[in-house]
Amino acid sequence: MTENTSMSEDGEVVSQPIEQVYEGMTVVDRDGVTVGKVEYVEMGDPQAVTTEGNMPKEPGGLFGGVARAFGADPPEPKVPEPERSQLLRTGFIKVDGPGLLDRDRYVSAEWIASIPDGTVKLNVPRDQIITESS
CA distance 80 to 88: 12
Q: How far apart are the first and last CA of the chain?
A: 42
Single-letter amino acid code for the residue at 12: E
Q: Mean pLDDT of all residues in the chain?
A: 80
Given this model, what pLDDT does residue 122 score?
98
Closest to 27 in 3D by CA, of 86, 110, 93: 93
DSSP state of 10: T
Rounded CA separation 92/95 (Å): 10
What share of the chain in percent tops pLDDT 70?
66
Reply yes or no on whether the pLDDT at 98 is more than 70: yes
Does the pLDDT at position 111 exceed 70?
A: yes
Q: How confident is the model at residue 42 (pLDDT cuts 50, 70, 90)?
A: very high
All structural domains of the chain, each given as residue ranges with its CATH number in brackets, are 17-49+58-131 (2.30.30)
